[in-house]
Structure 1
């Protein structure tokens, strides 16, 4: 999303090129972040072959040029481990909180209203929202004390952090109100994507928003 936003901010783009742009940005991001990057062939399959490998490779060079080859962007996920290790959380619950926080961050990436917040604020608000939602199962700090601790760790203002966290929780509530578009295609295994080749591809998708209850 960082690459997409930066590219669109400087290059007028036709609507019929957005899917191609998104695929190229996913390719670049996976090369930078994943140990096993996405392949061009796989991205074309994901678009139902509406784009070609040649287009992806040509646009990869174009996007890199427009972004001035500056791909090392700091994103909200980069802050999670640094913040979580400074919170008094039960050791066996850290991964659960992180997974829920990743879901909130992914949700924020789909809403332009969060563009006003820096990545560190989105990460901090997402952790606060995650702990708030899991407070019944976590025997740890919560409420005002948690907000103040998070604010001190990241050097943010308490009021700004509260506003961000509340906005995240509202966004989640709105998202949960939306009915599933394809209920008949529900798969109990939410961590895999199936292709017509019967190949199972494991993904890094965080907890589904329907698994979160505030």
Structure 2
């Protein structure tokens, strides 16, 4: 009789351990080390000569689309963006290498966070084979060297559950708030203006935006905007004014993203009749960042 090891097609996740999220020492440890993983300067002004903010936004959106397409773990994309920002803050790079760098960052983060990491071949495919597997593997060593192999970065997602377990959120709403908060942290990762904010502040602002957006203040006065901001500031040891400004910026980013999404859908509807003729000049995968390389 032959024995087969059959692995399921779906990923089985471990349950969250409340003892970890309610232990104050764990949260304080994250708050203590988070600054090590934040770019210390605006690299567009001091380091990068060829790469502009709009190019960073384009590559970030492309990376997000690839992670969504591959159904990556929710931590893969923000961690990859953390690697991208830290690398760009240290080493001047030409725009022709930006997509290669983004691919390498996804390659590394998926190895750390996903049970089924992205393959080098698949990432090359998502670039329309504009990069080779050899280039990807060579640049993997370059990125690891520049980041000194310090890859276990603290990201906003690491704080979400710690914050949620300290808020008076109804249990039946907890998963919804968590889902919205993680969506907002991913959205923040695409915006370079938020790149230098501490991960705990991004997480707290995202949770605040999620709670306010879901109107949970109707269920508990402690979740009203002002009371919630004060509570979030205490949890993350953040200045109230700084946190309030961060949350307002996150909400503006969200509003802009929704507006752009509506505009895109309208333009897509107008162009639908010409889509067949245009496909010859367009990429068939989420890879179209060719404007960056021109």
Give the TM-score normalised by the residue count of structure 1: 0.81
Of the structure 1 ranges 11-20 and 172-181, higher mean CA displacement relative to structure 2 is found in: 172-181
Q: Distance in 2 between matches of 1:4 and 1:69?
A: 14
- Deviation beyond 2 Å, 4+ runs, structure 1: 136-142, 181-186
**Counterpart Cα distance in 2 of 1:29 and 1:121:** 22
Q: For residue 138 of structure 1, report the CA deviation from its aligned partner.
A: 6.6
Point out where structure 2 has 5 or more consecutive residues left out of the alignment.
1-80, 273-283, 285-294
Give CA deviations for 1:15-45 in whole Å, capped at 9, x if unaligned. 1111010000000011111121111111111
Query: In the alignment, does 2:163 pair up with 1:83?
Result: yes
Q: After superposing the two structures, state which structure 1 stretch, 82-91 or 112-121, moved more.
A: 112-121
SS at structure 1 position matched to 2:155: coil
- 1:70 and 1:54 map into 2 onto residues whose CA distance is 23
Q: Which residue of 1 aligns with 2:264?
A: 180
Q: Give the TM-score normalised by the residue count of structure 2.
A: 0.60
Structure ranking higher in helix proportion: 2
Taking the TM superposition and a 5 Å limit, the aligned residue runs for 1:6-21 are 6-21=86-101
* 2:205 equivalent in structure 1: 125
Determine the structure 1 residue equivalent to 2:226: 144
Query: Would you say 1:102 and 2:193 are equivalent positions?
Result: no
Q: Which has the higher Rg, Structure 1 or Structure 2?
A: 2
Q: 2:106 aligns with which of 2, 14, 26?
A: 26
Q: How far apart are the structure 1 equivalents of 2:170 and 2:160?
A: 16
Equivalent pairs, count: 187
SS in 2 for 1:20: helix
Q: Which digits, 9 at most, give the CA deviation of each residue in 1:84-128, with x for residues without a partner?
A: 011111112111111111121112112222133211000000000
Q: Quick check: 1:43 aligned with 2:123?
A: yes
The CA RMSD over aligned residues, in Å, is 2.1
Unmatched runs of 5 consecutive residues or more in structure 1 = 187-195, 197-214
Paired position in structure 1 for 2:132: 52
